[in-house]
Structure formats: C-alpha cells, structure tokens
Amino acid sequence: MLQARNGRSFTRVRRRRRRLADPKDVLVSGPGHGPECDPLPLLEKEISQCRVATVPGLKLPPLTGGAIGYVGYDCVRYFEPKTARPMKDILCIPESLFMLFDTIVAFDHFFQVIKVITYLRVPDGDADIEKLYREAELVLQKMIQKLLDPKVPMPPQPPIKPDQVYTSNIGQTGYEGHVHRLKEHIGKGDIFQTVPSQRLARPTTLHPFNLFRHLRSVNPSPYLFYIDCADFQIVGASPELLVKKEADRIITHPIAGTVPRGKTPEEDEKLAEELRNSLKDRAEHVMLVDLARNDVNRVCDPATTQVDRLMVVEKFSHVQHLVSQVSGVLRPEKTRFDAFRSIFPAGTVSGAPKVRAMQLIAELEGEKRGVYAGAVGYFGYNCSSLDGKEIIDGAMDTCIALRTMVLKDNVAYLQAGGGIVFDSDPYDDKLDLTYTLLYLLLFIIRLLPSSSSLSTSSFIFSIYYADILLIPTPYLYISLSALWLGNLVITPTSLTQPLFFCVRDVNTQNFNIHRSRDFPPGIFINEYLLVFLFRFFFSPSYSVCSAESAEKTSSPASLLSVTQRVLAWHVRSSGPTT
C-alpha cells in the first residue's frame, strides 16, 4: 500500500489475510536473491512492453498499473562504481524489489472515492478481444466483491511480549566516534556535509500491518507505505520526495533542518522562526539545494532548471522541516530512469560532494543500509496515443526511505541518521538521531496492550495504543492531546472531521464539550496526540465532566486516570446502551 502527498492510496497488500491483487511478476536483485547489477534496465524493459492508451476525458490517478517496490541504498554501487566496497549484509534482503501489477485499487482520500483499475493485455496477432474484455470485467467484479465483503477478519495478532529491549549496531560511543572522524574529513576539505546513521533492532510479535495502521494514524506523512515482500515487510512514513515525474518535468524536494513541533501555536511558530534563522541549518540546506540542482541538470535542460521554493518551513505531525523544491524539463534523449539514477541517493541521506561522502559512509558503517536511505515508490506503465504513434514515459513517484522499519523474523529494524557539517556538535547530532529512532520505537511500544481493563455493569472496555481505522463502527475513538493540555477530540475515525472537542477549563478543571462546527478552526492543530481506543458500545449523546464530579455520579461509568495529577475524564451515556 502506497499513500502519496496527494492523498491517494494505491493498494497491493496482504490485507486482513487476503490479497486484493496478486502481482503479475516480481523483479528482485542482489546477492542470494537475483542478479547483482543495476536493477533499472530490467525494470525498464518489463514496463516498456506494456503501452497504455491515453483516453481523453478519462480522469484516472497517476498510477494505473506498473511497478511498485523499492531500490535499496546499496544499489548506488551500480550507479556510481567508485562507491563499491565489501559490506556486511545483516538483514539479508534483496537490494531491490519491484512487483508488477495490472490491477490497482486507488483510494482518493480527499474525495472519498475508490477506483478499481485493471488492464486488458492484447497480444500481437489475432486475438478474441471480446473474450479478453469479459475476462477483465470479471477481474473488476471479483475485486469489488472483495472490497464490499464485510466479513473480513482483522490481521492476526499473537501475544505481545512487552519486556523486549532494543540493541544498536554501533551504540552511542560508536556514533559519536563517526561524527568526530567525519568532522576531521570536513576540516581537511574532503567533504562539506555527510549523513552517518545507526540501526536499532527490537524483537516484536506485532503484525506488520497493525503497525502500519498505527503509523499512518499518529504520523500522517506525505508518503506512507506498507510493502509485503512475503518473508519481510517494509513500513514507513517518509516526509521527503526523492524524484517525481510530472508530464516532462522532473521534481525533487531537498529537506534539511529540523525542529520539533511546539506544544502551543505560539511555541510552534517560535520554533519555526528559530529554524528559519539557524545559520547551521541554512548553510546545510543551501549545500543540498545546490547538489539537487546539479543532479537535475545532469538529465534536464539547464535553462529550465529552477528552484521553485527555497527554505520553506513545512509542518509535519511531530517535527518541522526546511523544504525546497528543484525542478527541470527532462531532455528528449533522457528517461525517467536516467533521472532516478542521477538523483539517487538524495544528498540529504548521503552528503556533499555526494560520491566522496558515500565512500566515507561505507568505510565507517561497514554494513549495508538496505531499504533505509533508498527509495520507495512506483514506475507506471508507458502511455501511447490512441493511434499508437506517440509513446510517452509513464508516471514516476518515489520517496526517500526515511522513518522506515523493516520487519523480518519477528524483529523490527529501525535506522536513522543526522547531517554533519563543520560546526556540528556530536552530542546534539546524537540527540537528533535518538529522537528519530525513539519516535519510531514508540510506534511499537504504543501498540502494546495496556494492563488497564476496567468494567462496570453497562460498559466493558480495554485500552489499546492502536490505530483506529477499519474497525467496526460500534467503537468510540478519543484522541488525547498533549497531557499537559488535557484536551480531548472525539472522532469516528482518525481521518474524518472530529465530532466534538472537549477542552479542559484551566480554572475549574472541568471538560467543556464543543461541537466541531462551533469550535474555532485551526485551534486544535496540535500534533502531539496519543491515540486511545475505547472498546464499548455507545449512543450518540455524551457528557464529559471532571474527576471530582464523576465520583458523585450514580449512573454507570468507568473512570481512567491518565496521569498522577487529577486529570481524568468521565464519559456517560445519556441514552440507552447496548
């Protein structure tokens, strides 16, 4: 499952024990899995065999069929041989993997519309077109039946062991040592900037798709993905576009410079202003923008290459980034695959100058990065005019594999890095890295079931740190904003407009309920949300009050204390209960 910046999801997952669509073919590369070579020529050959007629007036998503998968960071040794050197392979997964699909389920979250698309492959020579068309219709009908089937079980979830700990491949001392050595190279003029990383591993029995569902709820990002590769899964929420093709234009988004979100709108804007004025972040960002311009110029007409946006602060669920956009018109003799090679890997995960920075990364880390810092995305089938005379490159949209987990053999592998420049503080960079890694670990920890299970004569519920999508409707979902605010949001799902806002009065400690339409817009855009699932049946009428008054209430109720302070809520049904 891929969900891109435009809000569309392209689905191909083992979802709830069943596949919506099986790939027509799977292309893999890497030692022990497939050919040890550049994976793009074979992918380009396979995709070019299918040409999709462009039908005027037919509104379809960018991806209607093609290859979905990833190119691991270590494939750079095929694009730039100077970076090749022997590396340990800890994860033992393919260097690249792409699945070819003729059937796609596209979910437009903005318009709440699902489109099911399949291809009619017409062979050369005589063929019974009407028979092939009926077969394609049958594929669509079966797919729609699967989507409409209400009796689909949830993904299996074995018992969870909450006492698991994580291990690092280099540890704090090792990472700080890498920073010191790289700063020495920067001082000598070998490089200007680079991005060392470390990997954490944590045993877990969580179902990978449950992890993805939680991730997309608590960390909405421009690129969300879940890829089931049979013996391992990839789960990620990346903020950064690597390279995208729109018509004949190539686009890339350098990101460098990070601060957390504020607890209040005022603090949020203060942190954003500090980011805009940070000399270190601005200097690092300008270097990466220049690197992106050089990469784009290698395949685009230099006269068309431009910086569309420069150092704009974009707000994400938990952090704020400095973001720029560089684009150019692809030269006629170049293809989207040439553009991918030119920009891969992004300077934000390698450094500048890119080749020397990657050489130093390989020397210090000594292990394959795998999916991390590579690319996840799709390459669509080529298009043609109705008369077949004009062939057009298909769509391409890829993101950098950041904030990404690989789950294999009941172990979750998390990897993150931080940009190093001349005036970097090893301790500060360690903090940036630790923040990213621990944030990913929280996705696992928050999915552990709570020991709290309270019941009364009318309500029985358990609390889970879990996502709230695709659960049957008789559930009430409450998102608790940052604990020090004590505000509540009541919403039927994580992606719909909240029904109510419950705001704690700082003087009386009471929760005052507001309907969504009566609440000032934008005031509740606070991304530090802990998501709770309250499993009980409810009527559409609620009352919310303080802990003190809840103790005096005689009606059936359950009270949960969320902190050691007197900060609690009481939900009471004013109508009949089930």
Residue 393 contacts by C-beta under 8 Å, 6 or more apart in sequence? Answer: 245, 335, 336, 382, 383
Cα 307 from Cα 286, distance rounded (Å): 11
pLDDT reported for residue 458: 22
Are 81 and 17 in the same domain?
Answer: yes
pLDDT reported for residue 511: 43
- Of 49-58, 147-156, 278-287, the one with minimum mean pLDDT is 147-156
Are 410 and 460 in the same domain?
Answer: no
**Catalytic residue at 372?**
yes
Q: Please tell me the pTM assigned to this model.
A: 0.74
Residue 333 contacts by C-beta under 8 Å, 6 or more apart in sequence? Answer: none
In a domain? residue 461: yes
Please check the confidence at residue 378 and state whether its pLDDT lies above 80. Answer: yes
Which of these is catalytic: 348, 404, 436, 491? 348
pLDDT reported for residue 17: 30
Radius of gyration of the chain (CA): 25
Which of these is catalytic: 351, 377, 417, 419? 419
Which of these is catalytic: 403, 446, 504, 570? 403
**Catalytic residue at 185?**
no
pLDDT reported for residue 282: 92
Total domains present in the chain? 3
Are 10 and 150 in the same domain?
Answer: yes
Query: 66-76, pLDDT tens digit by residue?
Result: 999 999 999 99
Please check the confidence at residue 560 and state whether its pLDDT lies above 80. Answer: no
Are 436 and 454 in the same domain?
Answer: no
In a domain? residue 578: no
In a domain? residue 137: yes
Residue 562 contacts by C-beta under 8 Å, 6 or more apart in sequence? Answer: 480, 483, 568
What's the residue count for the chain? 578
Are 258 and 187 in the same domain?
Answer: no
Share of the chain above pLDDT 70, in %: 68
Please check the confidence at residue 272 and state whether its pLDDT lies above 60. Answer: yes
Cα 490 from Cα 398, distance rounded (Å): 35
Are 47 and 151 in the same domain?
Answer: yes
Q: Which residue in 373, 366, 326 sits closest to 349, CA to CA?
A: 373
Are 29 and 159 in the same domain?
Answer: yes
Are 85 and 142 in the same domain?
Answer: yes
**Catalytic residue at 570?**
no
Give the mean pLDDT of the chain.
73
Are 354 and 483 in the same domain?
Answer: no
Are 286 and 408 in the same domain?
Answer: no
Ramachandran region, residue 257 (left: φ > 0; alpha: ψ -120 to 50; beta: rest): left
pLDDT reported for residue 14: 33
pLDDT band with cut points at 50, 70 and 90 for residue 340: very high
Please check the confidence at residue 270 and state whether its pLDDT lies above 90. Answer: yes
**394-425 burial by CB neighbour count: b if 16+ within 10 A, else e?**
bbbbbbbbbbbbbbbeebbbbbbbbbbbeebe
Neighbours of 187 (CB within 10 A): 9
Domain boundary among 329, 346, 381: 329
In a domain? residue 519: yes
Which of these is catalytic: 321, 369, 446, 504? 321
**Catalytic residue at 403?**
yes
Q: Which residue has the tokens 């039908």?
A: 55
In a domain? residue 83: yes
Report the pLDDT averaged over residues 249-268: 90
In a domain? residue 527: yes
Domain boundary among 276, 309, 329: 329
Which helix (H) or strand (E) segment is 197 a member of?
Answer: strand 197-203
CATH at residue 44? 3.60.120.10
Longest CA span, the chain: 82
Are 102 and 172 in the same domain?
Answer: yes
In a domain? residue 406: yes
- Of 51-55, 172-176, 412-416, the one with minimum mean pLDDT is 51-55
pLDDT band with cut points at 50, 70 and 90 for residue 149: confident
Query: 328-337, pLDDT tens digit by residue?
Result: 999 999 999 9
**Catalytic residue at 321?**
yes
Which of these is catalytic: 372, 378, 439, 465? 372
Domain boundary among 414, 445, 476: 445
Are 482 and 436 in the same domain?
Answer: no
In a domain? residue 54: yes
Decide if 416 contacts 436 (C-beta within 8 A).
yes
Range of the domain at 98: 2-248+330-445
